[in-house]
Structure 1
């Protein structure tokens, strides 16, 4: 499934939630969608659990 189709489905889900449930339902669907996205990336192997707990390294360019 292409990213465009996934984006369209997510937009439609948010639209339905906003129309039928109001703004709080819209926020709930958006937050759960973000959690599902992160979980999916974790299960695909694109993320590791340590990525959330390690500090970022800052490199200064001179």
Structure 2
């Protein structure tokens, strides 16, 4: 699937959540989607958790 299709599906889920359950449900579904995406990137090896932690702690990056 292309990024456009995934983005449209995510936007649809969030919009329907907001309509059906209100703002706070929309907010928590959005946070859950972000956490799920981050976990998926870690599992795929496309997100280096150590480098991310170093960046938040003020460590130097290699790039």
Q: Is the shorter-chain TM-score for this pair beyond 0.5, marking a shared fold?
A: yes
TM (normalized to structure 2)? 0.82
Q: CA RMSD in A?
A: 1.5
TM (normalized to structure 1)? 0.83
Q: Which 4+ runs in 1 deviate beyond 2 A?
A: 55-58
3-state SS of 1:38 partner: helix
Structure 2 residue runs of 5 or longer lacking an equivalent are none
Matches within 5 A, 1:1-62: 1-54=1-54, 55-57=58-60
Q: Which has the higher helix share?
A: 2
- 1 CA distance for matches of 2:36 and 2:17? 17
Kindly name which structure, 1 or 2, has the bigger radius of gyration based on alpha carbons: 1
